[in-house]
Amino acid sequence: MSEREAHHPIDPQFLTRWSPRAFTGEPLDSPTLHSFLEAARWAPSGYNAQPWRFVYALAGTPAWTPLFETLSSTNQSWAHRASALVLVVSQQRWLPPGKSVLEPNHTHAFDSGAAWAFLALQASIAGWHAHSIGGFDRERARAALAIPEDYSPQVVIALGRRGDPSVLPDALKAREQPNSRLPLSALAAEGSFPFD
């Protein structure tokens, strides 16, 4: 694993978590998967609306194929070795306190991203890896998994134990290592938005 270095003090879990594509295919049992989902359940959200929903499939079960087939061919080329897939869906409307009519939830995707992060960190702590996939057919997922119109498919998460990069297609082998991040100075500024 390449070295990752924080420029300010943080817990090591933020540096050790990364998103490999090479998985072993080792079975993931339901209690372990549910512990990852339980961590996601405790993510923060505006007004505690909790707009995230998870549709999951363990490898080798009837639920696997409909979810797997929503992935792009490039993502199918490596995700077939994952132990589970989890579709993150966010509810676009909510019922604010004291209201009787649903209103748009402008932070549904943002809040659901926090739930994904909690899931990914819990998986990493448990010795598993999570890789979020944006390359999938959202309308196919909606139809195949009976997702109502009020919910927005966000990402599919592939979960598994890290495998040998040799199982990957050649185009992905060189990318199978933890990457770095932009410096904090390129991401945070006091008082105004000076970024290019």
- Give the tens place of pLDDT for each residue, 157-195: 999 999 998 898 888 988 988 888 998 999 999 999 988
In the chain, where are the structural domains located?
50-166
The residue length of the chain stands at 196
Q: How far apart are CA 73 and CA 58, in angstroms?
A: 19
DSSP alpha helices (H): ranges in 11-167?
13-16, 30-41, 64-68, 73-79, 108-125, 138-144
In this prediction, residue 194 carries a pLDDT of: 85
The residue assigned the tokens 């990957």 is 168
pLDDT (mean) for 59-73: 98
**5 contacts 111 by C-beta, under 8 angstroms:** no
Please report the pLDDT score of residue 90 as a whole number: 98
pLDDT at 1: 42
Instruction: Residue 4: name the closest of 20, 21, 17, 23 by CA.
Output: 17
Terminal-to-terminal C-alpha distance of the chain = 31
pLDDT over 70 percentage in the chain: 99
Q: Are 55 and 67 in contact (CB under 8 A)?
A: yes
Q: Are 39 and 174 in contact (CB under 8 A)?
A: no
Q: Which has the closest alpha carbon to 159: 178, 118, 131, 125?
A: 131
pLDDT, mean of residues 114-134: 98
User: What's the pLDDT tens digit per position in 83-107?
Assistant: 999 999 999 999 999 999 999 999 9
Integer Cα distance of 68 and 76 in angstroms:
7
The predicted model gives 18-25 an average pLDDT of 90
Q: Does domain 50-166 have CATH number 3.10.450.50?
A: no
Average pLDDT along the chain: 94
pLDDT, residue 18, reads 84
